[in-house]
């Protein structure tokens, strides 16, 4: 897989024509891991040759998404012309490379192919090409360019060239995919490929081929949707005298029903998962299991141990099924294992957006209570909302198993009296429980703790009321108990 003595160099080469999705993020992760475990180089290259659709905001999202996952890249662009050759060096603050900044490089190679008659200008209009295509389809032939302009001795009069085409050889293209094994394509089915609109606008396959050579890419690890691009790029490599990198095509990510990824998932940005309250640790762990299987049944991985455990040979050929339950399970696992201070730090943007302000120690206590129930950071905002604002509730909620309201009122008055006796600095879970234990033994645990739970949370289902009280503090606990008693008085 890696030739001894070879410096591994891989790249992530997304187009900034849309948001960064799970497929791109997984490709980035697999490349990053392969580079790290082989002491290699991971490059980020923005393939923005599509001028009409490329947008700066999408490039920024790609960078933001990679940084969120902790996938740092190792090189940036700095080109110098020396002795007629383009050399790549590194800057301190790396990259990314942008194809839009490399136009003169591609132009040089386009001119070389035109000069050597390995490419030519095509003057056929879109209308002519469409008519030709329909004619081939009607004859049951695979549609491809007929080669009309291939052997022109001179440019047609008063016609402008429409594109530059590659003189495609009629050969079989064979390569050994590191995941799929021997793969063969018949180039005769391609026709003469379009490689540029003009000398200033190369198309994706040509620009990518030139970049992979100049950036000394040793392994191209990308999605299965790029499989059909590989033979075309190999043809360009051969005619330009470039080295052929090793190729590995990752399986598609499928919907839960194993169908092609639906828009519900495919169009969900990686950053949308962040906004939804998922942790970067979770996303890394989840992404690596989409198409890769470890040696044993281990499911929890950090970036650090993945560098040791990841093996490209264990990437499957079949599609990887999207499993949102697994995603939620992983997220809840990390909440249970994570330091409270770390969770609080991750929660801060959500707290700010929700205009929630509370002492840090209070927030830590609430996190400790809620962490076992959280699947996402957003769950904290919904599940713990009663800590910050007591919801309005019906007085009937205070009754345990339809206990008469006068009895509920009497019990809550006793609870309030016991709470008031606890000193402010001793208002802890242990002392609250100790203060209420004798009353609970006498009246019944449900009769005491149910109305206390309802009074403090205003909810039918909530955490341990004693833990809630400790987190709220003595003053707020008393205030909420008085609100409950007021409701009971009004209901008489």
Q: Which of 57, 85, 182, 263 is catalytic?
A: 263
Q: Are 415 and 452 in contact (CB under 8 A)?
A: yes
Is 263 a residue of the active site?
A: yes
What is the set of active-site residues? 263
């Amino acid at each position: 897989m890696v030739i001894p003595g070879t410096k591994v160099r891989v790249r992530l080469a997304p187009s900034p024509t849309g948001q960064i999705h799970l497929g791109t993020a997984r490709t980035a992760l697999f490349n990053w891991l392969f580079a790290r475990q082989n002491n290699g180089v991971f490059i980020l290259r923005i393939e923005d040759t599509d001028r009409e659709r490329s947008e700066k905001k999408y490039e920024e999202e790609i960078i933001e998404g990679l940084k969120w996952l902790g996938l740092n890249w190792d090189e940036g662009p700095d080109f110098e012309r020396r002795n007629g050759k383009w050399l790549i060096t590194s800057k301190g603050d790396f990259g990314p490379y942008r194809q839009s900044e490399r136009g003169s490089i591609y132009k040089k190679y386009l001119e070389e192919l035109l000069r050597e008659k390995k490419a030519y200008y095509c003057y056929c209009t879109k209308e002519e090409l469409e008519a030709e295509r329909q004619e081939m389809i009607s004859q049951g032939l695979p549609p491809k360019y007929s080669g009309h302009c291939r052997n022109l001795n001179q440019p047609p009069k008063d016609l402008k060239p429409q594109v530059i085409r590659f003189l495609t050889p009629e050969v079989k293209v064979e390569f050994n995919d590191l995941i799929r094994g021997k793969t063969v394509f018949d180039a005769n089915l391609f026709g003469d490929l379009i490689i540029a609109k003009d000398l200033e606008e190369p198309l994706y396959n040509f620009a990518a081929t030139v970049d992979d050579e100049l950036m000394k890419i040793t392994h191209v690890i990308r999605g299965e949707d790029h499989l059909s691009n590989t033979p075309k790029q190999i043809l360009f490599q051969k005619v330009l005298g470039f080295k052929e990198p090793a190729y590995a095509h990752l399986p598609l990510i499928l919907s839960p029903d194993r169908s092609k990824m639906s828009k519900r998932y495919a169009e969900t940005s990686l950053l949308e998962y962040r906004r939804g309250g998922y942790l970067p640790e979770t996303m890394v762990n989840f992404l690596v299991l989409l198409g890769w299987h470890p040696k044993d049944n281990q499911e929890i991985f950090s970036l650090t141990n993945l560098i040791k455990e990841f093996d490209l040979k264990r990437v499957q050929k079949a599609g990887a099924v999207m499993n949102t339950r697994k995603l939620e399970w992983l997220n809840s696992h990390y909440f249970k294992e994570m330091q409270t201070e770390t969770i609080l730090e991750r929660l801060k943007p959500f707290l700010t957006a929700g205009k929630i302000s509370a002492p840090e120690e209070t927030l830590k206590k609430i996190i400790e209570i809620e962490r076992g129930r959280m699947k996402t950071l957003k769950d904290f905002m919904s599940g713990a909302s009663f800590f910050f604002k007591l919801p309005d509730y019906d007085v009937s909620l205070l009754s345990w198993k339809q206990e008469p309201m006068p009895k509920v009122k009497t019990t809550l008055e006793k609870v309030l009296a016991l709470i008031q006796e606890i000193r402010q600095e001793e208002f802890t879970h242990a002392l609250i429980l100790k203060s209420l234990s004798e009353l609970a033994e006498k009246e019944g645990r449900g009769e005491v703790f149910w109305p206390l739970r309802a009074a403090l949370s205003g909810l039918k289902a909530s955490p341990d009321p004693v833990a809630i009280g400790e987190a709220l503090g003595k003053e707020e606990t008393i205030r909420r108990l008085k609100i409950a008693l007021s409701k009971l008085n009004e209901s008489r």
